[in-house]
A and B are shown apart, each in its own frame.
Chain A
Amino acid sequence: MQWGSLTEFVAMGGYGLYVWTSFGATALCMVWEVLAVWRRHAAATAGSRDVS
């Protein structure tokens, strides 16, 4: 473990902006894609009965 404190962890040795933008954008895209597919399935099956 190389982080002394939470502030140090967030700062990422001065590269915090780049590191957290990368990880944040990846997380956002993946969560957005899951939600989009979820809604698409709900919309596609809205007309039919008994769909799990």
Chain B
Amino acid sequence: MSFMGINWFKYSSPQAFHPLAGKMIPWFAAAALGLIGVGLYIGFFVAPTDFQQGDAYRIIFVHVPAAWMSMFLYVIMAVWAGLGLGLNARPSFMMAQAIAPTGAMFTFLALLTGAMWGKPTWGAWWVWDARLTSELILLFQYIGIILLRASIDDLRRADRASAVLALVGVVNVPIIYFSVKWWNTLHQGASVSMTASPKMATTMVTAMLVMTLGFWMYSFAVTLARMRCVIVERERLPSWGKHSSIQDVAEAR
């Protein structure tokens, strides 16, 4: 397969992927910084104060992007895990391994910022509501996947076991998303949808979407960087970043 004259399959090899990722990380990091900067500016200085919730609503600019990322990253992790199982491809498992901690962090942040928003608006840090409970379960799933991998010494078995767990857990993502429709929850409904016009002022939606894009770029940068760590840790070749002789590789194995 060649697209723009580039042999993309080359990059399915960890040795070729490692330097490519190294080149991509600064661009994603710069995009993340820029977008988050613009998002914060719009969120704090352009978007007006909400007539109902006052300035407490501004938590939305980190809460919703973090919650979206927690679900997006879970699905992406599960897709890589599934590809790994289907194609028996090591780099796919590594990708799933690299995504899990970032997903867990965003899930934790969604819960924490949610508590910070719940206290002033609902009067409670936490309620056992369908949306909150299913998101808490997502955090436990991420932790379970990370711990299961860490608890199995054989890398191939660890890859497969955590991939199966990740795939089974995907069922929780639609449950989180539709929880506000399926059950009577204290949590408010979807802020933005494809079918209806947004329920918020345009500047508020803009800030939220720009912050989400920034979090995407951040996630790309940090998971690619962790992918590089995983590659080096797992492949242990004598020298990354330099062409290895056949003898070097043979000695390393």
CB distance from A30 to the nearest CB of B (A): 6
Q: Does residue A6 face the partner (Cβ distance < 8 Å to B)?
A: no
Q: What is the size, in residues, of chain A's interface with B at 8 Å between Cβ atoms?
A: 30
Bound Cα distance A37, B239 (Å): 19
Number of A-B pairs, beta carbon distance below 8 Å: 93
Asked if B229 contacts A37 (CB within 8 A), the reply is yes
Q: How far is the CA of A39 from the CA of B233 in the complex (A)?
A: 13
Query: By the criterion of a CB under 8 Å from any partner CB, how many residues of chain B are at the interface?
Result: 39
**Does any Cβ of B come within 8 Å of A21's Cβ?**
yes
Could you mark each residue 53-88 of chain B with 1 if its beta carbon is under 8 Å from any beta carbon of chain A, else 0?
011101100110010000000000000000000000
Q: Whole-angstrom distance from the CB of A46 to the nearest CB of chain B?
A: 10
Q: How distant is the Cα of A17 from the Cα of B158 in the complex, in angstroms?
A: 43
A37 pairs with B58, CB closer than 8 A: no
Q: Is the CB of A19 within 8 A of B55?
A: yes
Q: How far is the CA of A18 from the CA of B91 in the complex (A)?
A: 41
CB–CB B108/A29 < 8 A: yes
CB pair B222–A37 under 8 Å, yes or no, is yes
Which residues on the B side are within 8 Å of A22 (C-beta)?
59, 62-63, 112-113, 116-117
Q: Given A44-B233, A48-B240, A51-B239, output 4 extra A-B contacts at Cβ < 8 Å.
A: A37-B225, A45-B240, A48-B238, A51-B232
Q: Which A residues fall within an 8 A CB radius of B?
A: 1-3, 9, 12-15, 18-19, 21-23, 25-26, 29-30, 33-34, 37-38, 40-41, 44-45, 48-52
Q: Which 5 A-B pairs have the closest CB atoms?
A: A13-B55, A15-B56, A22-B113, A12-B55, A44-B232
14 contacts between A and B (CB under 8 A): A2-B48, A2-B49, A9-B44, A12-B55, A13-B54, A19-B116, A29-B108, A37-B229, A44-B229, A44-B232, A44-B233, A48-B239, A49-B242, A52-B19
B residues sitting closer than 8 Å to A (CB atoms) are 19, 22, 44-45, 48-49, 54-56, 58-59, 62-63, 66, 101-102, 105, 108-109, 112-113, 116-117, 119-120, 218, 222, 225-226, 228-229, 232-233, 237-242
